[in-house]
Amino acid sequence: MAYKRRYSCITYSDIEGGYAGVGNVDADPLFVDAAGGDYGLTLDSPCIDAATSEAAPAYDMTGAPRWDERTVPNAGGGDYPWYDIGAHEFVRGKRYGLRVPRPGKHGHSGGQ
């Protein structure tokens, strides 16, 4: 049986080590507190206003609307080039950080 090779097209993402593709960056995303599990973006993050609105939801995982941070140049794509890379839209004055339990916390070992 022959298998067809499939290729992924990854764009507008922050990938450690880099990855060829439109809008991709290789930079520290500058999370609020990654060690503590808070993956919200800080104002200096290269992920702010760097994603694409093409086929992306208008709201982030917490329900915050995607919006333009006026102090950051728009580097993204699509009709609204100010979407942020990642699960959380940076919202000035609010912390929408995603808390992810580490393995072993709260009785979860990461296994089945």
Lowest mean pLDDT among 6-15, 17-26, 28-37: 6-15
The pLDDT assigned to 3 comes to 65
Q: Is the pLDDT of residue 96 over 60?
A: no
Q: Is the pLDDT of residue 79 over 90?
A: yes
The pair phi, psi for residue 14, each rounded to 5°, is: -105, 105
Give CA 94 to chain center in angstroms.
Answer: 17
The predicted model gives 45-66 an average pLDDT of 94
Instruction: Please state, as a whole number, how many other Cβ atoms lie within 10 Å of the Cβ of residue 2.
Output: 3
User: What is d(CA 95, CA 38) in angstroms, rounded to the nearest whole number?
Assistant: 9
The pLDDT assigned to 103 comes to 53
Q: How confident is the model at residue 53 (pLDDT cuts 50, 70, 90)?
A: very high
Q: How confident is the model at residue 112 (pLDDT cuts 50, 70, 90)?
A: very low
- Residue 56's alpha-carbon distances to 63, 70, 106, in angstroms, are 13, 20, 32
The pLDDT assigned to 35 comes to 92
Mean pLDDT of the chain: 84
